[in-house]
Amino acid sequence: MMKKISLALAMICMVSSFSTAFAAEYLGNPRSMKFHYTNCRTIKHPENFVTIESRDEAIAEGYVPCGVCNP
């Protein structure tokens, strides 16, 4: 019974993380011209970043994807 519960919880966590990644806004760093997922570990001061609505928008504005979070 415990295996079924832990498997179900693992599945819920996995599904919720996928939906977060696909629905995420992005943050762009105007100094480096890189864009990141909002939860990227390299973002130390989010107040210095600009909000970007989509990956296509980021690329159109000249941003390149972060090498850590790979948005």
7-51 pLDDT per residue, tens: 455 556 554 444 444 445 999 999 999 999 999 999 999 999 999
Q: Is the pLDDT of residue 5 over 80?
A: no
Q: Is the pLDDT of residue 65 over 50?
A: yes
pLDDT of residue 17: 43
* Dihedral (Cα; 30, 36, 38, 40), 10-degree rounding: -120
Helices within the chain (DSSP H only): 2-22, 55-60
pTM of the complete model beyond 0.75: no
pLDDT of residue 16: 45
Residue 5, classed as helix, strand or coil, is: helix
